[in-house]
Amino acid sequence: MGRDITDREYSAADYEKFNRRIHDQVDILKRVITRPDFGTAERCIGAELEMYLMDQVGDVSPVNVQLIEMLKDDQYQTELNKFNLELNLSPVKAAGTPFSNLTKEMLDKFNHLWTVAEQINTRPLAVGILPTLQEKHLTNEYMTDIDRYRVLARELLKQRGEPFHIKIDGEEPVDFYTSEVCVEGANTSFQVHLMTEKDRFADTFNAAQLTLPMALAVSANSGVLLGNCCWDETRVVLFKQSIDNRMPDASGWRQPARVTFGHGWIRKSAWEIFSETVNLYQPIFPELYPEDESEVPELAELNLHMGTTWPWNRAVYSNNGTGHLRIEFRALPAGPTALDMAANAAFSIGMAVGLEEKIDEYMSRIPFRFAEYNFYRAAKAGLNATVLWPQNYQNKPVEVPIRNVIDDMLQVASDGLSKLNVDRVERDKFLQIIQRRLAVGVNGASWTKRTLRHLRKSMPNDKACAKLLDLYFENQMGGRPVSEWERCWK
């Protein structure tokens, strides 16, 4: 999705040519990833941080294009909405101190961003959803003026044919219709990439899917939308509904959602995910690029198509060097602090690698639909969720508190990071941040929602949201993990 797209109307011939190209490239990919020298480089970890831009009073600041011009730094990119910005962090070696290295770069880049943004009365903030966001901010007036975003909005709405329905249940439900994809821009995330061993991709990916609910529950940081206390990770339901272009046919059947947990366990290799995406989803951008006949080709059209579906864990192919495969963990939210985000990355990656050797045993006891059920339970209730998890001598699904599973997974994560040759001090430092959150029962979402409810006792909701944002911002700038933030609701 980072490629330039020209705003033009596509013809049926454009779609036909593009469709042939991506099917051919799936066949090419199958050959490329079986090359003996494919995926032999040292394993690395990368990340992308999406941020909000706000003004001095906590309203959105729609200046991302201007800010990028001022920054003169290729690691920053625009996002769908003018008040969002993305920072692409440098890949780091998985061995040693990768999470400390990511933390340092985040802080260095953020401090420079802050200095530059201050010149135009703008403050950057890492949070899953801005607490002061209003429905008026989710219109095309705030869409970044770049062709690929206009085309994306146009094509998704064209395929659906009627407004998107945003309906989020809970104690304070949200329910409205919109014809504008900008609602998707309310979501900001911390997307983490892990290069995988090509022969272990299926095991690592399945383990990442199975453990994603635990990572999401402990890292949730998107509890407030349009002034309402919603799901702990409201991004999950909002993202899915905001670009859901599916319409039921006469029989009531609908195409698979473009935002999805997945369609089943992977059996043998990453190739299955690419083939599945090509065969299940209609192209949005039928753009053709010069053919690449090198031994490890770019497969530009295939990668473009993969970027127009949004699974919560995504398979990524790269032709850098001798080529590699990686898993993109897309469900983690932005914020609350750099240390929190690095800890979320360590926990997610550690669980995936730590459980990969035992994943067959787990898959035989947890059907894929159970893992999907756990994911949405974790998104809704965070650390208060219950999930289906295997127990000794069971003969039916058993629901257990997700906190118990997270506690068990801390050792699994430590073992997984050890397999990646992450230093012991590094492992302990970041997993203790997760352990502390678990011990006090506080993640970003619960801190936000409980603070907002407390503030409402003495002021109107709009004032309470503004005050909440001030407190959140002060704590983020302080840098301490969210488990150590002052809790005014005591």
Output 451 or 240, whichever has higher pLDDT.
Answer: 451
Output 32 or 162, whichever has higher pLDDT.
Answer: 32
R_g of the chain computed on alpha carbons: 22
Output 29 or 162, whichever has higher pLDDT.
Answer: 29
Please state, in angstroms and rounded to a whole number, the distance separating the CA atoms of residues 210 and 387: 11
Residue 90 is encoded by which pair of tokens?
């440098």
- 441-477, pLDDT tens digit by residue? 999 999 999 999 999 999 999 999 999 999 999 999 9
Provide the sign of the torsion angle of the four alpha carbons 195, 196, 198, 203, taken in this order. Answer: negative
- 104-118, pLDDT tens digit by residue? 999 999 999 999 999
Q: What pLDDT sits at residue 243?
A: 67
- 392-449, pLDDT tens digit by residue? 877 777 899 999 999 999 999 999 999 999 999 999 999 999 999 999 999 999 999 9
| Summary mean pLDDT of the chain | 93
CATH of the domain at 428: 3.30.590.20
Give me the mean pLDDT over the 355-365 stretch.
95
**Which secondary-structure segment (H or E) carries 463?**
helix 461-478
Q: Evaluate whether 445 touches 68 at the Cβ level (below 8 Å).
A: no
Residue 34 in this model has a pLDDT that exceeds 90: yes
Please state, in angstroms and rounded to a whole number, the distance separating the CA atoms of residues 26 and 302: 7
Please state, in angstroms and rounded to a whole number, the distance separating the CA atoms of residues 152 and 181: 8
Question: 207 in a domain, yes or no?
Answer: yes
Q: Evaluate whether 332 touches 192 at the Cβ level (below 8 Å).
A: yes
Q: What pLDDT sits at residue 1?
A: 44
Determine the distance from the C-alpha atom of residue 231 to the mean position of all C-alpha atoms in its chain, rounded to a whole number. Answer: 16
The CB-side HSE value for 49 (13 A sphere, CA atoms) comes to 30
DSSP 184: G
187 φ, ψ to 5°? -95, 125
Question: 237 in a domain, yes or no?
Answer: yes
Of 444, 371, 370, nearest to 208 by C-alpha is 371
Question: 156 in a domain, yes or no?
Answer: yes
- 315-324, pLDDT tens digit by residue? 999 999 999 9
Q: What pLDDT sits at residue 178?
A: 81
Please state, in angstroms and rounded to a whole number, the distance separating the CA atoms of residues 310 and 262: 10
Residue 212 in this model has a pLDDT that exceeds 80: yes
Question: 86 in a domain, yes or no?
Answer: yes
Q: What pLDDT sits at residue 293?
A: 86
Please state, in angstroms and rounded to a whole number, the distance separating the CA atoms of residues 136 and 381: 28
Q: Which residues pair with 47 in a beta bridge?
A: 192
> 417: domain range?
12-484
DSSP 383: G
In total, how many domains does the chain have? 1
Q: Evaluate whether 155 touches 240 at the Cβ level (below 8 Å).
A: no
Q: For residue 98, say if its preceding peptide bond is cis, omega within 30 degrees of 0.
A: no
Note the pTM of the prediction, 2 decimals.
Answer: 0.95
Question: 308 in a domain, yes or no?
Answer: yes
- 378-397, pLDDT tens digit by residue? 999 999 999 999 988 777 77
Please state, in angstroms and rounded to a whole number, the distance separating the CA atoms of residues 74 and 143: 21
- 118-162, pLDDT tens digit by residue? 999 999 999 999 999 999 999 889 999 988 888 888 887 777 667
Question: 118 in a domain, yes or no?
Answer: yes
Output 244 or 363, whichever has higher pLDDT.
Answer: 363
Question: 444 in a domain, yes or no?
Answer: yes
Sequence-separated contacts (24+) of 61-68 with Cβ below 8 Å: 61/120, 61/121, 61/122, 61/123, 62/142, 63/120, 63/122, 64/144, 65/144, 65/145, 66/120, 67/113, 67/116, 67/117, 67/120, 67/122
Question: 302 in a domain, yes or no?
Answer: yes
**Which secondary-structure segment (H or E) carries 305?**
helix 300-306
Tokens 């230093």 -> residue: 423
